[in-house]
Amino acid sequence: MPSATPARSIFRTAARYLTEPHPYGRNPTTVPSHSVPWNIYPKRLARTGAFVIPMAVVTLGWPLAGAAFFNKIGV
């Protein structure tokens, strides 16, 4: 093990200050966990899909639409 230099001791001290002294996100034993609101997820999926699917069609389909347009007008 290398001897502690001033630079290493500074980094070790900084690392100790950056770590939490307790576990993060402990589950309490006296309070039951919250239930999952399953009725929200279909609504979110529908709302997200209503935006993402048309945008994906536009984003991925514009080269095909442009090629069809230019083939039709003869360019």
Residue 7 has pLDDT above 70, yes or no: yes
- Average the pLDDT over 10-32 and give the result: 79
- Average the pLDDT over 5-28 and give the result: 80
Domain boundaries, given as residue ranges, for the chain: 38-75
Distance of CA 61 to the CA centre of its chain: 26
Whole-number Cα distances in Å, 1 to 4, 5, 8, 32: 9, 12, 12, 47
Q: How far apart are CA 59 and CA 57, in angstroms?
A: 6
pLDDT of residue 59: 96
- Average the pLDDT over 48-55 and give the result: 97
